[in-house]
Chains A and B, each alone.
Chain A
């Protein structure tokens, strides 16, 4: 059983000292790289021969003591930035990393403003319905006061 496993490991990973780097780590790096001969698949997912060789190369380099960044930099040097499945967060690329979160924040501010306006109006309405106080300035003051006293969440 144990011998079988060793044979297996040697067969599966003929390069370098087998087992030094867990398969998961190789796949983690491979998942960041695009398989150059496939349609939109990562090196980790692709069943192609090319991707298999690249996984071997990743393992070899990791075993040599290179960091993940160095391994990825090697592939960028060889294939260009295109090989990375997520663009590096520098320069113009920052756009794609920042814009989604900026949009959510802006939207959140918008939602809060809308909800506040709506709830402010609801509180102002009973006052507006009273004919005894037609003065808009007065109404505005009442609303502000109401907002001041009941601005938070009601129990």
Chain B
């Protein structure tokens, strides 16, 4: 009964959405306000219907209605309520339902925002968005019906994958989906611009905030994913170049390129085609990533589906790519803008290089991700492409990007004068040189770590110098206090200074990556109770094993007393979780987090009688800087999009 209701709601939503898409186009072409109003209402109706379907699903999940196959797949009677709720995005069908709900929610918000200030592009963009929404609804109604019933009804469900039964599960996928869905809005306005021939900067400025917000969510999702991986997947790392991670990273790279290159179009009116290509690429990569990871074509932690879904996604992807390409060719003549530049070195060239590197980065990730498929098809041999390849190729690209990050924002538009460039770069370069000398004195000798620390320090110095100068000028001219001067500076150009704060976050993140990947110390030991071993500054003593029954699993943990430099310290309790139906246990790590370094313990094995435990200890220097950097990045992005009243400014 519940199942039929849910499925029927989805079919109804599909019909309403299709009607809405057509009504938007007809309404604007026939200049019929009633038809447009009806189209807007259809968005509302569709949103209500999808919300209803979502609630029906949650009701089934919370009440453990195992007659619905999906519910039986992702929850058990004993699951805590929060994981029953999170079961909605614990598997393919539910994830798509959630995605579609966010999609129609975003459309609703967009319609609401444009109601007050109607714009000729908006109805076309809404039609495109309704088309995207219809794709997901068709997928749900026809292929991945989350309300599929099955007989006989099992007495209990299978439950979530134990890897997903962690609090982060409640956050990380939501952030990513917001990012994915968010990029559909600028994409839709780009298509609307091509359709209508209104090819000026409107589509960019109308969706600028949407783009930054989508980028913000995607960034938060990716970094949160790393944090999740680090704390709960139990291998001591935060990024494995797993296809699923790559799938979220590729649109991030092109999206980041887009955020930068739109500035050239806004300031100078150039690169129109390129910006349209970039946003299309970003949206296409979102769909491609989903296809890659959800079609079962590559196997990885998260890929849990097989079947006709892949072909369906591929067809949609082809429509997006070929459709956009066709429109671009059709409008090619009108998109030609003669570019102009007074000197080879200018902000524009810095942005072009930035775009080149980001897109090349994306291309490398793409190539590495699909290469196993390619090799299997061409050579008939299974190969792997993992961290060593990605690091080898991408580290130089990343360093080059950092260099640009230090120089680019301080090169004037059109033409660089060496005097002005010197003014903003000389001191930071000196700071970086001193820092490099210090690092060498401290024993850092290898080329890449040295460069990996020196470049972020250089970038940080340029940014801080810029802020320092601005604040000092305001204090002198307007007699403001420090904080007021800082705020005034931000308000004068939120986008620029917010962006610079984002760069500062990237600096912290880079230092964390370089530090933790270069100077990681790893030791493993089998200990009897009372025995201890040394790792870095720490002495780790095994005290004993304990075990207890939890709601969904049995948990065994070891108590380890850690003394730091001889000072008595904390007790860490890394554990293993045993689930019914899974042969191998899942690790719950425990760690002592700190700014200087983390001590991270993994319980690798133990003797059942408690006479021995094998523990793996990792010392990860500076790894917290990654998360700190993430927070700073988000703060910077928020500053950049935060609406500000202008009246405070003289």
Chain A residues near B (Cβ < 8 Å): 4-5, 7-8, 11-12, 23, 27, 31-32, 34, 39-42, 44-49, 52, 80-87, 91-93, 95-97, 99-101, 103-104, 107-108, 110-111, 114-119, 121-123, 125, 153-155
A23–B522 CB distance below 8 A:
yes
A41–B240 CB distance below 8 A:
yes
A114–B364 CB distance below 8 A:
no
List residues of B (208-254) whose CB comes within 8 Å of A's CBs: 234-237, 240-243
The listed residue (B236, B270, B339, B364) touching A45 by CB distance below 8 A is B236
B381–A81 CB distance below 8 A:
yes
A48–B584 CB distance below 8 A:
yes
A-B contact count (CB 8 A): 161
CB-defined contacts of A118 to chain B, threshold 8 Å = 270, 339-341, 348
In angstroms, Cα B359 to Cα A29, docked, is 31
B525–A107 CB distance below 8 A:
no
In angstroms, Cα B235 to Cα A52, docked, is 13
B384–A100 CB distance below 8 A:
no
The listed residue (B393, B532, B616) touching A100 by CB distance below 8 A is B393
CB-defined contacts of A87 to chain B, threshold 8 Å = 371, 375, 383-385, 389
In angstroms, Cα B367 to Cα A111, docked, is 22
Q: Which residue of B lies closest to A122 (CB)?
A: B340
The listed residue (A12, A86, A108, A117) touching B389 by CB distance below 8 A is A86
A86–B375 CB distance below 8 A:
no
List 29 A-B pairs, Cβ < 8 Å. A8-B534, A12-B524, A23-B523, A31-B387, A34-B384, A40-B240, A40-B301, A40-B386, A42-B386, A44-B522, A45-B236, A52-B524, A52-B605, A81-B381, A81-B383, A86-B392, A92-B379, A93-B383, A95-B374, A99-B367, A104-B356, A104-B397, A110-B356, A115-B344, A118-B270, A119-B343, A121-B340, A153-B343, A155-B418
Contact string, B328-350, partner A, CB cutoff 8 A, digits 1/0? Answer: 00000000001111111100110
In angstroms, Cα B441 to Cα A137, docked, is 62
The reply on B527 being an interface residue by CB < 8 A is yes
List residues of B (522-541) whose CB comes within 8 Å of A's CBs: 522-527, 531-534
In angstroms, Cα B343 to Cα A115, docked, is 8
In angstroms, Cα B234 to Cα A46, docked, is 9
A153–B584 CB distance below 8 A:
no
B contact patch SS: mixed
The reply on B363 being an interface residue by CB < 8 A is yes
A41–B235 CB distance below 8 A:
yes
The reply on B368 being an interface residue by CB < 8 A is yes
CB-defined contacts of B371 to chain A, threshold 8 Å = 87, 95-96
Q: Which residue of B lies closest to A39 (CB)?
A: B301
A39–B418 CB distance below 8 A:
no
> Given A27-B522, A45-B237, A100-B363, are A85 and B352 also a contact pair (CB < 8 Å)?
no
In angstroms, Cα B377 to Cα A92, docked, is 12
Say how far B201's CB is from chain A's closest CB, in angstroms.
19
B363–A116 CB distance below 8 A:
no
Contact string, B508-528, partner A, CB cutoff 8 A, digits 1/0? Answer: 000000000000001111110
Q: Which residue of B lies closest to A108 (CB)?
A: B356
The reply on B604 being an interface residue by CB < 8 A is yes
The reply on B32 being an interface residue by CB < 8 A is no
B344–A85 CB distance below 8 A:
no
Q: Which residue of B lies closest to A50 (CB)?
A: B584
CB-defined contacts of B382 to chain A, threshold 8 Å = 80-82
Q: Which residue of A lies closest to B379 (CB)?
A: A92
CB-defined contacts of A45 to chain B, threshold 8 Å = 235-237, 240
CB-defined contacts of A155 to chain B, threshold 8 Å = 418
In angstroms, Cα B381 to Cα A59, docked, is 28
B415–A107 CB distance below 8 A:
no
CB-defined contacts of B237 to chain A, threshold 8 Å = 45
A115–B387 CB distance below 8 A:
no
B341–A122 CB distance below 8 A:
yes
In angstroms, Cα B381 to Cα A103, docked, is 25
The reply on B548 being an interface residue by CB < 8 A is no
The listed residue (A11, A39, A83, A100) touching B525 by CB distance below 8 A is A11
12 further A-B contacts with Cβ under 8 Å, apart from A39-B242, A119-B341, A123-B342, are A5-B534, A7-B531, A8-B533, A23-B523, A31-B387, A32-B388, A42-B386, A81-B381, A87-B389, A119-B344, A121-B339, A153-B345
The listed residue (A42, A99, A116, A125) touching B344 by CB distance below 8 A is A116
B352–A39 CB distance below 8 A:
no
Interface centre among B243, B352, B353 (most CB of A within 10 A): B352
The reply on B611 being an interface residue by CB < 8 A is no
A114–B352 CB distance below 8 A:
yes
B363–A103 CB distance below 8 A:
yes
In angstroms, Cα B375 to Cα A95, docked, is 10
Interface centre among B344, B383, B393 (most CB of A within 10 A): B383
In angstroms, Cα B464 to Cα A116, docked, is 33
The reply on B61 being an interface residue by CB < 8 A is no
Contact string, B284-310, partner A, CB cutoff 8 A, digits 1/0? Answer: 000000000000000111000000000
The listed residue (B235, B352, B368) touching A96 by CB distance below 8 A is B368
CB-defined contacts of B605 to chain A, threshold 8 Å = 49, 52
